Amino acid sequence: MDYQSLFAEALYQQLKDQLKLEKVVQLIEKPKFDDMGDYAFPCFELAKIFRKAPNQIAGELADKLELPSLFEKVEAVGGYVNVFLKQGEVSGSVVAEVIQEKANYGTLHQGSGEVITIDFSSPNIAKPFSMGHLRSTVIGHSLARIAEKNGFEVVRINHLGDWGTQFGKLIAAYKLWGNEEKIRENPIKELLTLYVKFHDEAEHDASLIDEGRLWFKRLEDEDQEARELWKWFREESLKEFNHIYELLGVTFDSTQGEAFYNDKMDRVVKLLEDKQLLEESEGALVVETAEGVPPCLIKKKDGTTLYATRDLAAAIYRHETYGSSRSLYVVGNEQTLHFKQLFEVLGKMGYEWSLGLKHVPFGMMLEDGKKMSTRKGKVVLLEEVLKEAVSLARKNIADKNPSLTDKERVAYQVGTGAVMFHDLKNHRLNDVEFSLDAMLKFEGETGPYVQYTYARASSILRKGGYQESTEPLIFDNDQAWRVVKSLMDFPEAVKRAFDGNDPSQIAKYVLELAKSFNQYYGNVRILDAAEGRQEKLALVHAVQVVLKEGLYLLGVEAPEEM
């Protein structure tokens, strides 16, 4: 039950001539201190409307409010109307609801089955899967699960970077210095070595850039040798990418990369011509965009199409194929201008569905304050980080719980969870400094801390022989109320995470729930006395259910034992 909405409705009945319901809901706050109530309504904005002091308005509102029976009292304090819920009854109701709904608790239906496409990860072929790719991958993966929790049907898209001039450079490098046997033994490492060498040599020999362009032209012209090398590089890269995705538990519905749209771009150019949107600029074809935004380049002077042309084709194809009402592009901050141009051009083409397209930018993964660069060979491989994380988790398990069954599985869950959670607890717009030490800490605001809390709850339930029951649950403990209030916040956190495309809302939420539960565990003897034991165990079970679902939304697994 949504108690905040009940409070809002009661307020609205008194204020409907002055405020819309949406505004009432927006104004409601949650007090910082328990003695100030469970919800509060500030009356300061009403002072101008009623021409009265906020404290007088609060007093009059408090006297008139008709609240449902689950509210214990209402108070006017200063310029606020504070309301208190009946802790025992509401606690029993909330815990019973969580246990009954289980993983469905917190599910919202604002999507109503609408299709949303999410474009994320999108690494470049023939380059290693580095820590620089982690952010788009885990943010997009989490947003997909959060969208499903909000009632949307999600299509996960991995728009592979498998086309462009860099492939001409790579083929040129392979032809000059490549060793087929070494590449077959360790494809990605050797291809990266060639790619870095090409750029190092090109600084002293400008003719190499022309050689790279020539090979890409041959690739575009369907030259057999160029195509076979490109296909080989692509297949070897996909093997590595799929291994990483398996480690992270990430899946996709489509892995159609840039090359897939090569035969779909002529249609885009024709549509732009038909709508008289194309203009010539220094021999190239462009579409003018908003004031202050550079024109969107569609065709270069030599007739070749560009990244924007390909993305226009991809957007149209996806809408026609999946019938999506919304599309998210989980791509770094540096592509903000590109997406402004892309969405505006689609709007000019008359596609109303373009209003549902959104760029979801994120900050960079930095090392020593600088962006990681594949071109310079300055790259930290994600697989190596994951292996180190799992190794550390394995060592911790050996030290603290050597008799643990299925140690390898738990080490994998904890190690990968630590890496993913470390990224997702940060707001996506912030840059994240790569620090293996910070990432692999198993105390504080970390994934392993939340996982350990879940494992602790599971252990208590096993020791207590907990069995679900339909008997009414009545709570009379202030410590339990703090935990229950955290449980009540979960649906709101799910909504905030979706509305803001912000997985950190879920990460912050599970940290807060874990903290409130551990405080409860430290102050209440759950298994000692028979009296109230069923309620205590039911509360533990409710926490277990919500922690697991919260971690799931982040892509992190919840081990039963640690």
Which helix (H) or strand (E) element contains residue 278?
Answer: strand 278-281
Round to whole Å and give the CA distance between 279 and 273: 9
- pLDDT score recorded for residue 131: 84
Q: Options 1.10.15.40, 1.10.730.10, 3.10.20.600, 3.20.20.100; which CATH number does 382-553 get?
A: 1.10.730.10
Mean pLDDT by 10 residues, the chain (562 residues): 94 96 96 93 96 97 95 96 95 96 96 95 88 93 98 97 91 96 88 92 94 93 95 90 95 95 94 96 92 90 81 97 97 95 97 97 84 61 90 91 94 95 94 77 87 97 93 83 96 97 98 96 88 92 98 98 93
Residue-wise pLDDT for 161-193, tens only, equals: 999 888 999 999 999 999 999 998 888 889 989
Q: Which of 468, 450, 459 is nearest to 560 (CA)?
A: 459
3-class DSSP assignment, residue 250:
coil
Give the residue extent of every domain in the chain: 3-85, 115-258+323-371, 382-553
Question: Counting beta carbons within 10 angstroms of the beta carbon of residue 291, is it exposed (0 to 12), middle (13 to 18) or buried (19 or more)?
Answer: exposed
The pLDDT score that the predictor gives to residue 377 is 53
State the pLDDT at residue 437: 74
- pLDDT score for 376: 53
* pTM recorded for the entire structure: 0.93
pLDDT at 300: 84
Picking from 137, 127, 554, the residue whose alpha carbon sits closest to that of residue 332 is: 137
Answer whether 3-85 and 382-553 agree in fold. no
What pLDDT is recorded for position 371?
73
Q: Which pLDDT score, from 0 to 100, does residue 378 have?
A: 61
Residue 228 is predicted with a pLDDT of 96
Residues 242 and 295 sit within 8 Å (Cβ to Cβ)? no
Q: 115-258+323-371 architecture in CATH?
A: 3-Layer(aba) Sandwich (3.40)
pLDDT in tens, 503-537: 999 999 999 999 999 999 999 999 987 778 999 99
What the block records as the tokens of 134 is 């982690």
User: Looking at residue 372, what is its pLDDT?
Assistant: 65
> In Å, how far are 277, 459, 544 from 510, measured between CA atoms?
49, 19, 11
Give the pairing type, strands 278-281 and 153-157.
unpaired
Distance, in Å, from the CA atom of 428 to the CA atom of 518, rounded to the nearest integer, reads 28
**CATH 3.30.1360.70 correct for 3-85:** yes
- What is the per-residue pLDDT for 208? 96
**E strands within 305-443?**
326-330, 357-360, 365-367, 370-371, 432-433
Residue-level pLDDT at 130: 84
Would you give the DSSP letter of residue 554? T
